[in-house]
């Protein structure tokens, strides 16, 4: 590729939620921005997580220079172990982001070989032809940054995830001045978060949650159980401060909650008042009016601390009548069923449950609403604009939001989906070709347990129509069946209803054996296929269903 071209290659996160990953290429140098994951939809049976297909990066591994991270949410760092298992890249991120990455790399035995480089806001790093300045932004997680990437063709601003919070709880303001300074000098391309583009106005500040939390601490007569995302350090800080104010001890429950609070405290991002922490094993022996339990599990994950407590299956805490349970989070689309099932269990235990939209709010978003998105567009005033992070409808709406900049130098907007590329040179920007993209399904989080499409298809097949196992004993000398075949089925028909059908099915298999030549009967592979085909034809005709048929031939 000629050195004068700049390519933007989205490997995930455009036209979908999660799996955020963007490759930026100039000549023979590639940097990767974020490597996220997403949780599987219901049809991906038995799959734990989904990561982008990194084939393009593998094919160009000698050109990939580094991985640069914007912040520590799973949809931006969850795929890092799977990328680093394929190529050992230098990784750049803020200390908190890298601390979260370290935890994942440790789980996959990749930490010893990882090349992790800590950066701070307003610091610059040079990687090949790219000079990257890290710009502090406010988000629902601490230490989030936007990237100002200077290339030989101009500056690219990548916002990462953000909202413009005028009163953040840690008083670290969104660095609008640096973005505005780039805007004055001239920005070639803006890549901006589209998650909340369909929300009018401004996203509320994190401080907006405090009045509701304060009200709950003031009026809860018994135990207060609060569940929030473990990465919401600002929220955890407010809970700790209020607990100290109202004389309650705080216990943290859940693996991710314990790990994240430990990391953030070590880095000085979470201030824990003296003598406020309560050991999990001491929760039930403490007066309920003096305890506050903070646990993970806002999305109803089956093995999370809150889900187990909801069915009275947690070793350290029991939810009792009169306790107040607070879900300080949003319901992620697709998670409604497990969340409401968990809420129902909590209600059966007599708990007072606080969740959903209310005023003042119990949760605020970490993503910018339409007016904040306009603010960033107006400050940056890019020559080209490409919305990122969101489904197609959100990307399209964000592109429409930028049209008012047409008279201020905006030449074009590009709504791309994962796999479509944008090419920029001295003549301008245009859509280019496609690259290989897709999803890699991971079972049980192991690097070796990549689930193939055919496995997903078989699981769906099994879940819908069950399976049928014809078991045939064949004499290895004569090639003949010793007796009538046995047929075992599960999830297909009940024993009572299917008795006659199974008798007929046995006869079909027996006939297949009888009408086969001696040569066919001594070739197991041929016989398995013949039995499968004949039995499939018979069962489909009789039942209009297509179970998974797996003939088993025993040599006797």
Catalytic residue numbers, as ranges: 193, 367
Question: Furthest-apart CA pair in the chain: how many Å?
Answer: 88
Contact between 188 and 148 under an 8 Å Cβ cutoff? The reply is no
Terminal-residue alpha carbon distance, the chain? 64
CA 389 to chain centroid, in Å, comes to: 12
CA–CA separation, 12 and 21 (whole Å): 5
CB-CB contact of 130 with 54 (8 Å): no
- Alpha-carbon distance of 72 to 97, in angstroms, equals 4
Residues 359 and 413: their CA atoms lie apart, in Å, by 37
Q: Is 51 helix (H, G, I), strand (E, B) or coil?
A: strand
Count Cβ atoms within 10 A of the Cβ of residue 292 and give its class: 0-12 exposed, 13-18 middle, 19 or more buried: buried
CB within 8 Å of 14: residues ≥ 6 apart: 388, 389, 390, 395, 416, 417, 418, 420
Q: Is 205 helix (H, G, I), strand (E, B) or coil?
A: coil
Query: How many whole angstroms separate alpha carbon 196 and alpha carbon 211?
Result: 24
Backbone angles phi, psi at 131, to 5 degrees: -115, 120
**What is the rounded distance in angstroms from the CA atom of residue 289 to the CA atom of residue 269?**
28
User: CA 387, 392, 394, 400 torsion: positive or negative?
Assistant: positive
Beta bridge partners of 504: none
**Neighbouring residues of 277: CB distance < 8 A, sequence distance ≥ 6:** 249, 250, 251, 252
Contact present, 419 and 434 (Cβ < 8 Å): yes
**Do 72 and 229 form a contact (C-beta atoms < 8 A)?**
no
Q: Identify each DSSP E strand in 284-351 by its residue range.
A: 291-295, 324-327
DSSP per residue, 180-200:
HHHHHH--SEEEEE-TTTTS-
CA dist., res. 551 & res. 556, Å (int): 16
Instruction: Measure the CA dihedral 187/193/199/200, to 10°.
Output: -10
The token duo for 486 is 């046995």
What region does 389 belong to: left with phi over 0, alpha with psi -120 to 50, or beta? left
Task: Report d(CA 429, CA 194) in Å as an integer.
Answer: 21
CB 10 within 8 A of CB 22: yes
Distance CA 425, CA 210 (A): 49
């Amino acid at each position: 590729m000629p050195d004068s071209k700049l390519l933007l290659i989205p490997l995930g996160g455009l036209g979908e939620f999660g799996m955020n990953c963007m490759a930026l290429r100039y000549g023979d140098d590639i940097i990767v921005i974020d490597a996220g994951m997403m949780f599987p939809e219901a049809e991906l049976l038995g799959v734990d997580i989904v990561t982008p297909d990194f084939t393009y990066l593998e094919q160009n591994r000698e050109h990939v220079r580094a991985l640069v991270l914007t912040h520590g949410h799973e949809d931006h760092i969850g795929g890092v172990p799977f990328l680093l298992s394929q190529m050992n890249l230098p990784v750049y991120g803020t200390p908190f982001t890298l601390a979260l990455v370290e935890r994942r790399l440790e789980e996959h035995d990749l930490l010893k070989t990882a090349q992790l480089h800590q950066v701070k806001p307003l610091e610059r790093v040079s990687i090949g032809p790219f000079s990257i300045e890290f710009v502090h932004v406010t988000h629902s997680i601490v230490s989030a940054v936007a990237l100002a990437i200077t290339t030989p063709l101009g500056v690219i601003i990548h916002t990462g995830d953000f909202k413009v919070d005028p009163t953040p709880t840690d008083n670290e303001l969104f660095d609008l001045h640096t973005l505005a300074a780039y805007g004055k000098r001239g920005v070639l391309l803006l890549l901006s978060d589209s998650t909340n583009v369909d929300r009018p106005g401004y996203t509320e500040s994190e401080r907006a949650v405090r009045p509701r939390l304060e009200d709950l601490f003031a009026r809860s007569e018994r135990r207060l159980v609060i569940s929030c995302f473990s990465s919401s350090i600002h929220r955890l800080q407010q809970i700790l401060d209020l607990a100290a104010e109202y004389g309650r001890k705080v216990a943290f429950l859940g693996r991710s909650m314990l790990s994240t609070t430990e990391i953030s405290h070590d880095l000085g991002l979470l201030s824990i008042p003296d003598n406020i922490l309560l050991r999990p094993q001491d929760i039930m022996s403490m007066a309920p009016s003096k305890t506050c339990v903070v646990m993970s599990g806002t999305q109803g994950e089956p093995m999370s601390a809150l889900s187990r407590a909801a069915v009275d299956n947690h070793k350290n805490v029991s939810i009792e009548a009169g306790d107040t349970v607070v879900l300080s989070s949003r319901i992620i689309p697709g998670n409604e069923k497990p969340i409401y099932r968990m809420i129902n269990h909590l209600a059966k235990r007599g708990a007072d449950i606080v969740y959903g939209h209310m005023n003042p709010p119990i949760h605020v978003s970490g993503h910018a609403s339409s007016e904040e998105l306009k603010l960033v567009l107006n400050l940056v005033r890019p020559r080209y604009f490409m919305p990122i992070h969101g489904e197609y409808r959100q990307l399209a709406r964000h592109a429409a939001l930028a049209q008012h900049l047409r008279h201020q130098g905006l030449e074009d907007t590009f709504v791309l989906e994962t796999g479509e590329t944008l090419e920029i040179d001295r003549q301008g920007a245009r859509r280019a070709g496609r690259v290989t993209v897709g999803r890699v399904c991971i079972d049980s989080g192991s690097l070796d347990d990549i689930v193939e499409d055919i496995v997903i298809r078989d699981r769906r097949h099994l879940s819908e129509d069950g399976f049928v196992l014809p078991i045939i004993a064949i004499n290895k000398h004569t090639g003949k069946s010793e007796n009538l075949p046995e047929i075992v089925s599960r999830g297909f028909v009940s024993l009572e209803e299917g008795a006659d059908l199974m008798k007929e099915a046995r006869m079909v298999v027996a006939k297949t054996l009888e009408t086969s030549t001696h040569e066919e009967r001594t070739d197991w592979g041929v016989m398995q296929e013949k039995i499968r085909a004949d039995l499939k034809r018979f069962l489909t005709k009789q039942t209009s269903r297509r179970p998974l048929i797996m003939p088993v031939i025993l040599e006797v």
